[in-house]
Amino acid sequence: MTEGNFVDYVKMHVSSGKGGAGSAHLRREKFVTKGGPDGGDGGRGGHIIARANPNLWTLLHLKFKRHIKAGHGGNGSKQTSTGADGEDMYIEVPLGTVIRDTETQEILKEITEEGQEYIIAEGGMGGLGNSHFKTSTNQTPRYAQPGIGGKEVDVTLELKVLADVGLVGFPNAGKSTLLSVITAAKPKIANYEFTTLKPNLGIVQYRDFQTFVIADIPGIIEGAAEGKGLGYRFLRHIERNSTLLFMIPADAPDVSEQYQILLHELEKYNPELLDKDKLIAITKCDMLDEELKAELKTELDKNLPVEYLFISSVAQQGLTQLKDRLWAMLNRPAVQE
């Protein structure tokens, strides 16, 4: 899938169906004297329903569906026959989709489980037929209720990628290369910044046929939380990752400083991101001999507040240890309060 086909933000206008009108029919049959009212109820209008679809991972199929309408309920008829319900309209969305009211920006629902459904706009109720209004003093009511109108809502659908591990780093830090080596994903790789223009997902095959999902998030730059570069657009995808793997190249001018900048951008976007498990991967370490690596290790032990590992995706160095550590972090027993 190309960058242009990755759609993670869609606005649309949805309209549920109006309810059908109740019937004011009076029974008129041969040999039936004073048949009285027998008008049926109107059917309800169709709902607009969001439904999780695990086979989708983007909102591309909704890109040009800006207006969605459900069917109207049928009118009631004689012999207390209820009108047909309006046709419900289903909006298939990938797991991790957030449904937000466009006007108020209120989050209406987060779709995170397979088969989960949420009614975005309920259809209008059908009106009652005149058979409901018969009383001892009003035995032939000639009126019925009209159906209730449907609802119209402007909603925004935002996709937040579901992955166990999110790769965080500056552009050209080696995130896509790592993803291509430890998974079957084939992200675009080139020696220039912002090669990755969309999140890429890959499944890491671990021991005993166990797996976990890793996401390559487009590079973050200083000021990303204010909208600079591509980072702001994709920072929301990191919110659902349980573990963050910070990737910093070994030839960076100051590894500790780069980590603090990345951390600061995440904090400005959402302070809750700092509560996630964190691990640092020092990439491109095949450029270092043992002496330089030992010197860098001494410096990092003093300045880095979290655990780190040396890896090289190209030279296949340290990748087994990296997968072992990530697996251990992902399967760490929950702390009971």
The pairing of beta strand 308-310 with beta strand 277-283: parallel
State yes or no: 194 annotated in a binding site.
yes
DSSP state of 81: B
Asked whether residue 197 is marked as a ligand-binding residue, the answer is yes
On whether 170 is known to bind a ligand per the annotation, the reply is yes
176 is in an annotated binding site: yes
217 annotated ligand binder: yes
Kindly tell me the burial class for residue 33, based on how many C-beta atoms sit within 10 Å of its own C-beta (0-12, 13-18, 19 or more): exposed
- 284 assigned ligand-binding residue: yes
| Residue 196 in marked binding region | yes
Question: What's the sign of the alpha-carbon dihedral 268, 270, 274, 280?
Answer: negative
Task: Answer yes or no: is 211 a known binding residue.
Answer: no
Cα-based distances in Å from 21 to 39, 43, 133, 142, 152: 10, 8, 15, 14, 19
User: Is 172 labelled a binding residue?
Assistant: yes
220 is in an annotated binding site: no
Residue identified by tokens 């019937």 is 23
Strand blocks (E) in 16-104: 48-52, 67-69, 89-93, 97-101
**Is 219 within any annotated ligand binding site?**
yes
Residue 312 annotated as binding site: yes
The answer on whether 169 is annotated among ligand-binding residues is yes
Question: CA 293, 297, 264 angle in degrees (round to 5)?
Answer: 120
The verdict on whether residue 314 carries a ligand-binding annotation is yes
Is 175 one of the annotated binding-site residues? yes
Alpha carbons 138 and 135: distance in angstroms, whole number? 5
198 annotated to bind ligand: yes
Q: Which residues of 207-239 are buried (b: 16+ CB within 10 A; e: fewer)?
A: eeeeebbbbbbbbbbeebbeeebbbbebbbbbb
Residue numbers belonging to the annotated binding site for Mg(2+)? 176, 196
Residue numbers belonging to the annotated binding site for GTP? 169-176, 194-198, 216-219, 283-286, 312-314
Residue numbers belonging to the annotated binding site? 169-176, 194-198, 216-219, 283-286, 312-314
